[in-house]
Chains A and B, each alone.
Chain A
C-alpha cells in the first residue's frame, strides 16, 4: 500500500479549488486519506477513479454522529476533519459530480457561518492592535497585520457568498 504526503495550502474561500484538486489526484490514482496538519494531505495509491470530494464546515461536535449519519446514509464516505472542515468523498457517476448541498442557499450558509466565526475575533484584534504596550509596538504591528488579513479573509468569503447568490 503505497502512501505519500503532499503539502498544499488552500485558504478557506478556496475550498472549491481544494475539492477539485483532490478529485484530480484521485483521477491520477492517488486517493485522499486524511489531513492531520493544516496543508499536509495524505494519499494512498490505487486505481485511477473519478472520486469527488466535498468540504463542509462544522464546529458543533454535539450532534456530530447524527450529522455524519446523514451523509453516510446517502453513500458519502467520511475522510475525517481538520480545524472544523469535514471531508467527504463519493464516486462520480457518469461524470456527474455529487453535491452535499442541493441548493445555493445552504451553500451560502456555510460561508456565512465561517465569516461569523472569523468576525467574532475582529473587535478583539482591533482593540489589541490599537493599544500597544510601551516598547512593544512591534507586537501591535503583528496584530495589525493579522487584523488586515482577517478583513481580507472576510472580503474573500463575502465575494464567495456574492458569487453563489448571483446563481440564486
Chain B
C-alpha cells in the first residue's frame, strides 16, 4: 500500500487542503469556504485552481463524485484518498516535530 501511494506525494498546499476538507462529502463552493476557515484565511482556493484539483484528484482516484445537485458536484474521499492524506499528514507531523526549534526565531 505504501509504495502505491508514494507517487501521489508530496501534495501541493491546495490539494492537501482540498483532501482535508473532504473528510466529509462537500461540493466546490463549500470546500472553498471550509479551506479558508481551516487555514485561518491563509488559503483561499480560486475556482480555476479547485477545478484543476478536482480533475487531477479524480483522475488519480483519490476522490469520487457522490452526488450532483444544481450543477454542483459533491465529492468524497476514496479509500486511496484517505491513505494518501494520512501519509501526507504523517510526513507533515514529522517535519513539524523536527522543526519546533524554529519557533525561537
Q: Which residues of A contact B (CB under 8 A)?
A: 54, 56, 63, 65-71, 73-74, 76, 99-103, 105-107, 109-110
Contact = CB atoms under 8 A, between A and B. Distances in A.
Interface of B: 12-14, 28-29, 32, 43-53, 68, 70-73
Contacts of B50: 70
Q: Classify the secondary structure of B's interface with A.
A: helix
Nearest to B49: A106
Contacts, number: 62
B68 A66 contact: yes
Q: Classify the secondary structure of A's interface with B.
A: helix
A80 to B, nearest CB: 16
A67 B51 contact: yes
Contacts of B32: 73-74
A70 B52 contact: no
Contacts of B43: 102
B44 A102 contact: yes
